[in-house]
Structure 1
């Protein structure tokens, strides 16, 4: 991660989406600017010499049951695949589940698509953190913007408000 200029996130609010700025005190984090065209995980990792196992993706899922909607954030290592239709659906107690539509995810979080992060999400959303993320040591996650990334301890992500630590993903390789 030597190609990145990490700075304390609390001192660089211009590199964070507004909801992240409002919540950054909940976690120790570093932030680094990146080329927004390289925000997608594979391109980011290749360009900035970050291993996929040092990067975690945050996706927003939307579940429904009896007319009630539930949103949740799911955080897994880039080397893993979340069990959305099994573990996550059952854990949330929903009948149907899918990845949230891009416009829903952006509108609900106040963050840019491709930069969504668990820091600063709506207070009533569960944050489901895969146990491999918590065990990974430092991981790179979104900052709410495509133009930067956060570096945080994986174990600290499981301590975020509404975070739940689960075995919800399996390695892809």
Structure 2
């Protein structure tokens, strides 16, 4: 099998490698149905040492920066409570946490969730958190630029491996909303 994007050599349909995915991601892949054909979700095996965006694109090619997305977990505070949500933006951008996300979630303050909280509540590894398999009660805010891509490279739930998913899938995941202005400027300098 050949990956729809990137120069990956170890490529398989995600349903064929459920044992290599974290439990919540494997369950999400199993549960894809209807207009989300699971055979379009591809797993590529990669070295966990290069899971971070800068190292990943340095190894596999700068062009992947334009087709990769990061899923970040945020904590929105309002009143006396905290609500968690996930944001999906292209890897070359950053999430407008204190503007768009705060207003969209109706929060007084929004920050990136602590790593231990994100890992515990998603059941995924930090650096591999993906929109597939997030807790059902979380909002998933998706930048429209991600949903418009034919294929998007995202985490697989662990630092080893990535998923390649049609961009249109993300707007159809449970709790997903397309949010204009979610991504701003650029993220860390990886070019």
CA shift, 1:52, in A, is 0.5
TM-superposed CA distance for 1:70, in Å, is: 0.5
Aligned counterpart, 1:169: 183
In the TM superposition, what whole-angstrom CA distance separates every residue of 1:137-166 from its partner, at most 9, and x where no partner exists?
Answer: 201000001011000011211110110001
- Bigger drift between 21-30 and 155-164 goes to 21-30
TM-score, normalised relative to structure 1 = 0.95
Aligned length: 173
Corresponding residue for residue 127 of structure 2: 114
Separation in 2 of the partners of 1:65 and 1:133? Answer: 28
Give the ranges of 4+ consecutive aligned residues of structure 1 lying more than 3 Å apart after TM superposition: none
Alignment correspondent of 1:127: 140
**Unaligned residue ranges in structure 1 (runs of 5+):** none
- 1:37-77 deviation per Cα after TM superposition (whole angstroms, max 9, x unaligned): 01111111221225201100000000111111110000000
**Aligned twin of 2:19:** 14
Residues in 1 aligned to 2:137 and 2:143: alpha-carbon distance in whole angstroms: 19
Distance 1:9 1:121 in 2: 17
TM-score, normalised to structure 2's length? 0.87
Secondary structure at 1:150's aligned position in 2? strand
Bigger share in strand: 1
